[in-house]
Structure 1
Amino acid sequence: MLMRMDRRTLSPSTPNSRAMDKYEQLALVGEGSYGVVLKCKRRDTGELVAIKKFLETEDDAAVRKMALREIRMLKKLRHDHLVNMIEVFRRKRRFYLVFEYLEHTLLDELEASPGGLGEDSAKKHLYQLLKGIDYCHQNSLCDLGFARALAAPGEPYTEYVATRWYRAPELLVADHRYGPEVDIWAIGCLFAEMLTGDPLFPGDSDIDQLALIIKTV
């Protein structure tokens, strides 16, 4: 789940197969297993947006299930400290998700400050992260890396859900019953990284990750 640092104006949702025509593609800003993220500009207003384009079509059952789950959750969320979704549409049987565009991220700041951000700056970022994740938890969402709905008591989740360095111990031992606590763990790891400039638990594997945690705590 992406966090944001300021509020932007949201455009109305327009679920139209030709909706992509109103955007000019500027650059590729990221890619993953299931899609790419494009920096685009609205032709009529000049507003910059980030558009996530799924690589596979909705004919792929797994992709369709994942995309619809993500869309349902994102439609529920509107908060100052989240990157909000503006609209969603289909084109050539692929899903496109339009988000607010951020000029820079926390990762950019960490890369620009290898010795850490300083205590005051780290605390400001921590406050915003906690406000954003608290809102997600209030809306029954957990796991920053996978953004999934909270299960009923006793209901299992899938095992692999977050970047290893920020994964809570219960995820590393394949415990399928976890909750909002995994997000607090991840934020704690990130806060330490903001203060020092170095990852707190940079494990090379799940076993190494657990060993680093045990050694530290």
Structure 2
Amino acid sequence: MQFGGGLGLVLALRLSISQKVEKLQQLKHPNLVNLIEVFRRKKKMHLVFEYCDHTLLNELERNPNGVADGVIKSVLWQTLQALNFCHKHNCIHRDVKPENILITKQGIIKICDFGFARILIPGDAYTDYVATRWYRAPELLVGDTKYGSSVDIWAIGCVFAELLTGQPLWPGKSDVDQLYLIIRTLGKLIPRHQSIFKSNQFFHGISIPEPEDRETLEEKFSNVHPVVLDFMKGCLKMNPDDRLTCAQLLESSYFDSFQEDQMKRKARNEGRNRRRQQNQLLPLIPGSHISPTPDGRKQVLPLKFDHLPNI
């Protein structure tokens, strides 16, 4: 539910998922949307989330040719920080997409919509139909129920590509079409996923068309810096085990300039705070009406003549 064009969410949920709500309350991070209040009404549980100004989808709509490099790095850095935190707590989001990445007026990223989120339990089988199709990893598309946090990494790669160009990387019209577009770029499915696809009753009698020609990521993004392409390729591996982790992506040289800017900004802010504190400690000169100026410089008072000499 939207309030005043922003995103202060109130979700009505069945009481049977109260355990998931409890887990959500435990996931506290600056880049995860904050759960403010939980209350019950008419046998339903209502969740009230913090207000955020807009979504990453709004940013893409305003920038149809791609988002500015500095904004992309800030979005990815903060989103990866949030997902890294979730993965460390054995939680996968499973529906990372521009619509679920909120942005505050201060430019702080907040991941929302944990409706598909799942706690990882070794050996468990999970629901295969999760995540919006365009950001869905191959293992989810074929119906594999044994997957992990790497599905979120795949989604990050798709979001990254979309931020660069302003257009979805693989805008499939169906699950089979989505697989076709992915295969056209990255090549064949791994043997396990081929086997699962063939045995999935949902795809009975259906086969994935063989692409007549390929368009690799290198060809799709021929104008980007090699570091950018390496980052993307680290996310978009057919084999989930080959994808980089959030921690590894955060160590990528892609973020070097961003981290330098962050350190400079932090140093400037700390310098301002020190000067502000020093100015507050400066005493008023006895018998004087002159108080310290905010920047510590001498205050120059305008001259006042009580009497002008006769000429």
* TM-score by shorter chain over 0.5: yes
Aligned to 2:15: 64
Q: Is the 8 A contact 1:141 1:150 kept in 2?
A: yes
Aligned to 1:141: 91
Q: Is the 8 A contact 2:15 2:43 kept in 1?
A: no
Aligned to 1:173: 142
More strand by share: 1
Code of the residue aligned with 1:151 in structure 2: it is: I
Q: CA deviation at 1:51?
A: 3.6
Instruction: Tell me the number of residue pairs that the alignment of Structure 1 and Structure 2 aligns.
Output: 165
Q: Is the 8 A contact 1:156 1:177 kept in 2?
A: yes
Measure the CA separation in 2 of the matches of 1:172 and 1:180.
Answer: 15
- Stretches of 4+ moved more than 4 A in 1? none
| Aligned positions of 1:34-45 closer than 5 A | 39=3
| Aligned positions of 1:68-217 closer than 5 A | 68-145=18-95, 146-152=116-122, 154-217=123-186
Aligned to 1:5: none
Code of the residue aligned with 1:140 in structure 2: it is: N
Measure the CA separation in 2 of the matches of 1:64 and 1:96.
Answer: 9
Q: CA deviation at 1:127?
A: 0.5
Q: Is the 8 A contact 1:53 1:94 kept in 2?
A: no
Structure scoring higher RCO (CA < 8 A, sep ≥ 6) equals: 1
Q: CA deviation at 1:113?
A: 0.7
Q: CA deviation at 1:105?
A: 1.4
More helix by share: 2
1:196 and 1:69, CA in 2 relative to 1: closer, same or farther beyond 3 A?
farther
Measure the CA separation in 2 of the matches of 1:182 and 1:167.
Answer: 7
Aligned to 2:11: 53
Determine helix, strand or coil for the equivalent of 2:169. Answer: coil
Q: Is the 8 A contact 2:7 2:54 kept in 1?
A: no
1:159 and 1:144, CA in 2 relative to 1: closer, same or farther beyond 3 A?
closer
Aligned to 2:213: none
Q: CA deviation at 1:70?
A: 3.3
Aligned to 2:278: none
Q: CA deviation at 1:49?
A: 7.4
Q: CA deviation at 1:107?
A: 1.1
User: How many percent identity over aligned positions?
Assistant: 51
1:101-132 deviations in whole A, cap 9, x for unaligned? 10111111111111110222111111111001
Determine helix, strand or coil for the equivalent of 2:148. Answer: coil
Runs of 5+ consecutive residues of structure 2 not aligned to the other structure: 96-115, 187-311
Code of the residue aligned with 1:158 in structure 2: it is: T
Q: CA RMSD in A?
A: 1.8
Q: Is the 8 A contact 2:25 2:35 kept in 1?
A: yes
TM-score by length of 1: 0.71
Q: Is the 8 A contact 1:140 1:149 kept in 2?
A: yes
1:69 and 1:163, CA in 2 relative to 1: closer, same or farther beyond 3 A?
farther
Measure the CA separation in 1 of the matches of 2:165 and 2:142.
Answer: 27
Measure the CA separation in 1 of the matches of 2:7 and 2:66.
Answer: 29
Runs of 5+ consecutive residues of structure 1 not aligned to the other structure: 1-27, 30-38, 41-47, 57-62
Q: Is the 8 A contact 2:8 2:50 kept in 1?
A: yes
1:158-187 deviations in whole A, cap 9, x for unaligned? 111110100000000100000000000001
Determine helix, strand or coil for the equivalent of 2:46. Answer: strand
Measure the CA separation in 1 of the matches of 2:36 and 2:132.
Answer: 26
Measure the CA separation in 2 of the matches of 1:49 and 1:86.
Answer: 13
Rg comparison, structure with higher value: 2
